[in-house]
Amino acid sequence: MACSGFVVSGLSSGSGKTVITLGLLNAFRKAGVAIAAAKSGPDYIDSAFLKAAAGQAAINLDSHAMTPTLIDSLLHRHIARHHAKTLIVEGVMGLFDGTHNGRGSTADLACHLDLPVILVIDVRNTAQNAAALAAGLDHILRQHAKQRYSGASGTHIAGLILNHVASARHHTLIAEAMSHYDIPMLGSIPTTADIDVPSRHLGLVQAADLAASGRLDSVIDAATKLVETHLDLNLIQKLATPLSLQATSQTALGAPAQHIAIASDAAFGFSYSHIIDEWASSGATISPFSPLNDEAPHVDAGFVYIPGGYPELHLQKLSTATQFMAGLQQMASRNVPIYGECGGFMVLGDAIVDADGNRFAMAGLLELETSFAKRKLHLGYRTLTTKQAGLWNNKLASTLMAHEFHYTTATRMAGEALFDAKDAASNDVGTMGLIKGSVTGSYAHIIAAIEA
Ligand SMILES: C/C1=C2N=C(/C=C3N=C(/C(C)=C4\N[C@@](C)([C@@H]5N=C1[C@](C)(CCC(=O)O)[C@H]5CC(=O)O)[C@@](C)(CC(=O)O)[C@@H]4CCC(=O)O)[C@@](C)(CC(=O)O)[C@@H]\3CCC(=O)O)C(C)(C)[C@@H]/2CCC(=O)O
Ligand SMILES: Nc1ncnc2c1ncn2[C@@H]1O[C@H](COP(=O)(O)OP(=O)(O)OP(=O)(O)O)[C@@H](O)[C@H]1O
Ligand SMILES: NC(=O)CC[C@H](N)C(=O)O
């Protein structure tokens, strides 16, 4: 495997990392470069956008929830699967944003992989200060690499991209200031009306929604045109440095059955390719089904997985999806393991209440009612310990790394809890989820099992 790579990071959310990564992936692909795409951190929405631009799955790599060995193993197989020569990794939030004690950041992932970082700075309302920030971050990143990752001699700020540049003068002011530092400028991107990727994290727009309205291709084309016009793509490609991965056969979460039915549509799109693609690669049969089209899970499946997503945007359709609901109830009565996470968990409950207080009946397999009436963000990594042994026909590991990201709240929850949970700083945060017969679920998205 001879693959080189770089990481695209920024100062914060909203700096333009996704737009620039989408443009770079598609521009390189058009130029015949064999690419692979990855996203740092627990974000399945951005990775769905990256997948569309890359024309292949984008993998999530998580320096908090995954061990270094697991990261290497997953990445090695991802690169091999796509015969990639250039890996592009999009960071999460700002370069050093992460969990407790600064762990789990994009900087950590870059250092672990010993990859250079391309920094994107949104320069609206600033000028020369952007150069000082880039130089300062470079200094701290090199220190971070030296202190925490003795082998990461290649991790530094290898180039700077200015986003939202107002004028040639604005560019010149920053370029002059940058000439004092040993960091190349890779280009300046103006604000452009046709690039709008509507706010994805407010629960409104996923790649699948844009695709359904025919806008996804035009957003990717606009991002591609921006990077082709304004960035030095030859120089960017030359900045990529070779990866050296210590791969094993370790997987994130072993396949829970030989035949797995997975809910997959605009209501249930929050799944990780590092889990599902690996189940498929290990030989499991994957049968997708669409609850929104009132499809039942495949009757022969030995496991039903309902990922998270936006059930609250489709409550009328879901509550009248009689084949889907009956299919789930039949599987439960046959003791087939059914597992829902976050949006999938909500659908397994008795009802979901929408933002206006209207109540919609759901599958009724768990004693749970969730509500969007008071929108509240719940966010954070979780370490989960199963409260019962032998779950999922003995296929569920006892300790799991996971994370929560949702706006609904459980207004009623009764019955046996599924997990004991801790946050990223190992504080106890109580129990999570429910188990009733073969039906399990919780608000957490599993990222990886911890091997005993
Ligand atoms: C510590 C925080 C973490 N956020 C993570 C990962 C993601 N956050 C995203 C986004 C868009 C938002 N995160 C904020 C909630 C922001 N994140 C934080 C905070 C700094 C502190 C949270 C806390 O401990 O209570 C928080 C800032 C705050 O003032 O609350 C957000 C508000 C920041 C922002 O830029 O606006 C914003 C939420 C906006 C909204 O309401 O929708 C990401 C989606 C970023 C991205 O990749 O685009 C991302 C993934 C979210 C996900 O979970 O899917 C960390 C790094 C995981 C970290 C939590 C660490 C932990 O200890 O668990
Ligand atoms: N040059 C630009 N012109 C116009 N809009 C832009 C430009 N760059 C980014 N945007 C818009 O700004 C918003 C934030 O951009 P983007 O999602 O790429 O940032 P990000 O750093 O990836 O944020 P996150 O960490 O939340 O994923 C999006 O709506 C995007 O369409
Ligand atoms: N992560 C999820 O599956 C989110 C579920 C739902 N959209 C909520 O915000 O509550």
CATH value at residue 139: 3.40.50.300
Instruction: Verify that 186 and 282 share a domain, yes or no.
Output: no
Residue 216 pLDDT greater than 90, yes or no: no
Pocket test for ligand 3, best of 313, 314, 406 (most atoms within 8 A of CB): 406
Instruction: Verify that 222 and 326 share a domain, yes or no.
Output: no
Supply the pLDDT for residue 62: 97
Residue 173 lies in a domain: yes
Residue 34 lies in a domain: yes
Greatest extent of the chain over all pairs of C-alpha atoms, in Å: 70
- State pLDDT tens for residues 18-59: 999 999 999 999 999 999 999 999 988 889 999 999 999 999
Torsion, Cα 112 27 24 42, to 10 degrees, reads: -70
Pocket test for ligand 3, best of 202, 352, 374, 407 (most atoms within 8 A of CB): 407
The residues annotated with a catalytic role in the active site are: 342
- State pLDDT tens for residues 378-410: 999 999 999 999 899 888 989 999 999 999 999
Instruction: Verify that 12 and 155 share a domain, yes or no.
Output: yes
Instruction: Verify that 216 and 317 share a domain, yes or no.
Output: no
Best CA proximity match to 439, nearest among 331, 361, 314, 342: 331
Boundary of a domain, candidates 213, 242, 271: 242
Count how many domains the chain has.
2
Residue 212 pLDDT greater than 80, yes or no: no
For residues 263 and 269, give the distance between their C-alpha atoms in angstroms, rounded to a whole number. Answer: 8
Boundary of a domain, candidates 242, 271, 289: 242
Helix axes 44-54, 17-30, angle to 10 degrees: 20
Ligand 2: which atom is nearest the Cα of residue 120?
A: 21
Does any ligand 3 atom lie closer than 6 A to the CB of residue 99? no
By alpha-carbon position, which residue is closest to atom 50 of ligand 1?
Answer: 43
Supply the pLDDT for residue 85: 97
Please state the pTM of the whole predicted model.
Answer: 0.93
**310 to each of 44, 50, 208, how far by Cα in Å?**
13, 20, 12
**8 to each of 2, 4, 18, 154, 243, how far by Cα in Å?**
20, 14, 9, 15, 16
Residue-range definition of the domain harbouring residue 357: 259-449
* ipTM score for this prediction: 0.86
**52 to each of 17, 87, 92, 183, 216, how far by Cα in Å?**
16, 16, 18, 31, 8
Boundary of a domain, candidates 242, 277, 312: 242
Residue 213 pLDDT greater than 80, yes or no: no
For residues 327 and 321, give the distance between their C-alpha atoms in angstroms, rounded to a whole number. Answer: 10
Residue 95 lies in a domain: yes
Supply the pLDDT for residue 350: 98
Residue 291 pLDDT greater than 90, yes or no: yes
CA 41 to the chain's CA centroid: 6
CA atoms within 13 A of residue 272's CA, in its CB half-sphere: 25
> Span 155-182, mean pLDDT?
98
Instruction: Verify that 236 and 263 share a domain, yes or no.
Output: no
Q: For residue 370, which ligand has an atom nearest its CA? A: 3
CA 256 to the chain's CA centroid: 22
E strand or H helix at 113: helix 106-113
For residues 93 and 263, give the distance between their C-alpha atoms in angstroms, rounded to a whole number. Answer: 29
Contact 45, 128 (CB under 8 A): no
Q: For residue 343, which ligand has an atom nearest its CA? A: 3
Angle at 39 between CA 38 and CA 40, to 5 degrees: 125
Instruction: Verify that 238 and 269 share a domain, yes or no.
Output: no
